[in-house]
Structure formats: C-alpha cells, structure tokens
Structure 1
Amino acid sequence: MKGILGKKIGMTQLYTDSGNLLPVTVIEVKPNVVTQIFTKEKDGYNSVQLGLEDKKNSRQNKPEQGHFKKSNTTPKRFVKEIRNMLGFELGQNVDSSIFKVGELVDVVGTSKGKGFAGTIKRHNQAIGPKSHGGGGGSQPLRQTGSLGDISGNKVVKGMTMPGQMGNVRRTVQNLEILKIDLENNILIVKGSVPGPKNSFVIVKEAVKQLPSKTAVELVNLQETLEKNHLFELAKKHNVELHMEMSVEEMKKLLDDAQNKTEGEK
C-alpha cells in the first residue's frame, strides 16, 4: 500500500489527442514528511504517519513540537496514517513520484457540508401534490412523507428524517491518474473527488487492485496555441510546417526564412 496527502485545487477539463473531453480534478501534492513509523513488532501493525503543510506558530503547542521534532520538522496542519506503507524512514520526504500515470487510486476526503436539510433534498423523497391542499400542514409540498414501519409506537433509528447533510468522510474508488507534474507538485485524476476547493484529501493505492490503464495522451493547450500562432506566421513567409514538428523546429524554420528575406532586401 502507498499513499500521499494533498489538497484539492478544483476541477477542470482536458482534451485527449483523439479529441475526447475528460472531466478532471487537480490535486496539489506538495512533498509529505514522514513524521512517525509504526511497526508490527512494537505497535501491532505497519503504518506510516505523513504530515502536510506547516502550522502557524500561534496554533502550535509543546506536545506537537516535541512529536514533530523527532522527525526534524515543524508541526503540520494535516496528519494522517497510511496502513501497510513500507520502505520509508523517519523525516523522509514523499512526493507524487510514488505513483505512475494510468494507475488507479482511491481518494478520501470530507464532503461539502449542506447544513440542516429536509427529506426532499437529503433522502430524495417526492414532493406532495401541488393542488387540493397538498399534503397538509404549513408547508404541504415538501413535508416529510411516510417513515415506514413504526411498530412499537416510536420512530426507530435509521428512518429518513430531516437532519445534518454532508460534512462526512467519503471515498471515491478507482480514479485514473492522468498526469503527474513533479515540478509544480500537481496530480491530475479523472473524475471528481469529495470536498470543496482547498480541502485536504488522501490519495491512496486502489484497494481493489485493478490493473492499471494505458496512459492517456493529453493535448498541451499552451503548445497547441503557440503552434497555431506559428502557422499564421508561416503563411506570411511561405514556409511549410507540419503539426508533428516541435515548437523549436517550427521557430528555426521561420527564423531561417525571415533571415533569408532580410538578406535579399
């Protein structure tokens, strides 16, 4: 098992080289610090504790400082354990290079809190009739419907009642990694993950251990726009370019053509 802590930046869309549009989530995965190691001999199980993002000095306490000092680091905002993660040492940095493009991962996060919600929104119950007085009561259209069996003259636990909605731990399984940018500490996965923007998430190896998928070739929009601009310049200088060429090759041909034109003048 392997994993890393990150922060959800938001969602966007990416194109593949075949023209398909993919919804993706961008996760910032700055290097994690191994803050504690649990072993089966000493603690009864194997695990690695990871920490992400420094805490403000005003929010630190002495027990935290003592704990993180053992790993030669400062107290962290987000600290979680990854079970059965082996091969790491105390104080070591962990980055997204532990994963590969095409690999499937499970992403754990805390869903958006929706506050106190009624049964229509929380449990997808149907509204009442909009004519003939609705379902009765002061709000006839959206009042609670049947609760099912209430034998014993009481409402037992688990009935579909109004209450707190969201703000719970959720896991989305088998999300495909589309891109890993080590330079900018970015991990891009296909699909959506739980939680609002800038919320902390855990990216772990898929527990179902399905086979990895073939790496998807994504379109580099910045490079494509630059090539389009070079194609427009090529028309003015009567230079033949091909899409398979790199940006550097295109620029070299254009520079040669421009120098030749200036030399003739």
Structure 2
Amino acid sequence: MNGIIGKKVGMTSIFDEAGRNLACTVIEAGPCVVTQVKTEDTDTYNSVQLAFGERRAKTSSKQMVGHFKAAGTTPKHEVVEFRDMDIAKSLGDTVTIEDVFAEGDTVVAVGTSKGKGFQGVVKRHNFKGVNDATHGQHNRQRAPGSIGAASYPAKVFKGMRMGGRDGGVRVSIPGLKVLKMFPERNLIIVKGAVPGPKGGTVILHK
C-alpha cells in the first residue's frame, strides 16, 4: 500500500477539458521522512514508517526524540506506517508525492471529520421531525419521538438512534481522482471533498 502523509490546505475548484467546474481539495503532501523499515525477518511483515510535520523536541517524548534521531531527522508531528510499499526506500530517505502518485491516479483519503459536539437526531441521523407545528405539536419539530415500549422490554435497546456526540471520527473517502500535482510546492489536488478541517492531517494511499 503506497501512501503519504499531508495536511489539508482547503477547497477550490478547477475546470476540466470539457469546461466543467470541478470541486476539489488541495493537500500539502510530504515531504515525508522514512523513520523505520520493517521486514519479515525482523518484524514478520514488511512496512515503511513515514513521518511528517515539524514538531519541537520540547513537546516530544524522549523515546520519540531518540527514534527520530536514529533516522537522522528532527522530531515530527505525525507518524504513519504503510504496509507492503513497493517503493525502495531506506532509513532516513525522503518520500515525495512524485514517488507515490501521478496525475490521473485514484486514491483513498483518510482523515478525522470535524467534531460537531452533542447533536440532536435531526442533524445526527437525518430525522425529519414533526413538521406540522399545529394540533398541539409544541416544541416537537426536532424531537426524536417514541424510543420504545413501556412494560416490555422496559429498556432502550442498544444502537437506538438518539442524540449524542457527532463527528470527530476517522473517515475514509475512496475513489478520489488526482487532478493536478505541483511537486515543487508539495501540493496535490484531488477531486471531491476530504474529511477534516483546514490544517488537519490527511493520509493518502492507493
């Protein structure tokens, strides 16, 4: 699984050859440093660990500072492991978007969605609510309605769609097409939306 770590810059739109306006996301991907190489002989499987984003040594643990020092680099903010990468890289090497992707590739974007806090059933589960405000429906427009019987089962079943914390979860968006790449600026433009806020960490892989 070839991949790279980056951060979301924001959304924009570009025109394709047919003149259609396409919504797309700009991602600053890499350069990433190889901080560990695992093989079947040492770890029973093959993988490459990449690190991205500068971080002060003051805010890093001594173990991680030593881990990055062994790779000949400064402390990083994000560390992600990619299994079975077919890119020949050694400890301390740099991985750029040109090493992993090309224009026209289809990629998967993984990120953490925006946290919405505690939300009701209308926003969290797309409930319709009671649209008719007449006939005694006072303050019931966004209510969940009945959630179960009384004497039996005398409880609320697990998994009942109710209000609660919304967002702030790991989300994968497959099938995003790479529209343009700017290797000199480490920028990659993919078609469609990518989870997370501006500046949020995004993992791109094939």
* TM-score class normalised by the smaller sequence: over 0.9
Q: 2:18, 2:140 → 1: CA distance?
A: 52
Q: 2:146, 2:112 → 1: CA distance?
A: 30
1:61 aligns with 2:61: yes
Largest Rg, 1 or 2: 1
Q: 1:10, 1:103 → 2: CA distance?
A: 20
Listed as ranges, the matches of 1:102-181 within 5 Å are: 102-128=104-130, 129-134=132-137, 139-147=139-147, 152-181=153-182
Return 11-20 or 24-33, whichever deviates more.
Answer: 11-20
Listed as ranges, the matches of 1:1-265 within 5 Å are: 1-86=1-86, 87-97=88-98, 98-128=100-130, 129-134=132-137, 139-147=139-147, 152-205=153-206
Tell whether the 8 Å contact from 2:119 to 2:164 is kept in structure 1 after alignment: yes
Q: 1:38, 1:147 → 2: CA distance?
A: 51
Q: 2:201, 2:72 → 1: CA distance?
A: 23
Tell whether the 8 Å contact from 2:111 to 2:195 is kept in structure 1 after alignment: yes
Tell whether the 8 Å contact from 2:114 to 2:167 is kept in structure 1 after alignment: yes
How much does 1:71 deviate? 0.6
Q: 2:157, 2:5 → 1: CA distance?
A: 39
TM-score (norm 2): 0.92
Q: Deviations over 1:236-257 (max 9, x none)?
A: xxxxxxxxxxxxxxxxxxxxxx
The share of aligned pairs that are identical, in percent, is: 46
Is there any run of 5+ residues in structure 2 with no aligned partner, and where?
none
Q: Deviations over 1:190-212 (max 9, x none)?
A: 1111011110100000xxxxxxx
Query: Structure 1 residues 178 and 18, CA, compared in 2 at 3 Å: closer, same or farther?
Result: same
Q: 1:7, 1:94 → 2: CA distance?
A: 15
**SS of equivalent to 2:42:** helix
Aligned CA-pair RMSD: 1.6
- Quick one: higher RCO (CA 8 Å, sep 6+), 1 or 2? 2
Task: Considering fraction of residues, name the structure with more helix.
Answer: 1
Return 140-149 or 34-43, whichever deviates more.
Answer: 140-149
Query: Structure 1 residues 29 and 149, CA, compared in 2 at 3 Å: closer, same or farther?
Result: farther
Q: Which residue of 2 aligns with 1:261?
A: none
How much does 1:3 deviate? 0.2
**SS of equivalent to 1:183:** helix
Return 150-159 or 118-127, whichever deviates more.
Answer: 150-159
Query: Structure 1 residues 201 and 149, CA, compared in 2 at 3 Å: closer, same or farther?
Result: farther
Q: Deviations over 1:28-78 (max 9, x none)?
A: 013100111122232222211110011123212211111111111111111
TM-score (norm 1): 0.72
Q: 2:135, 2:153 → 1: CA distance?
A: 33
Task: Say how many residue pairs are matched.
Answer: 202
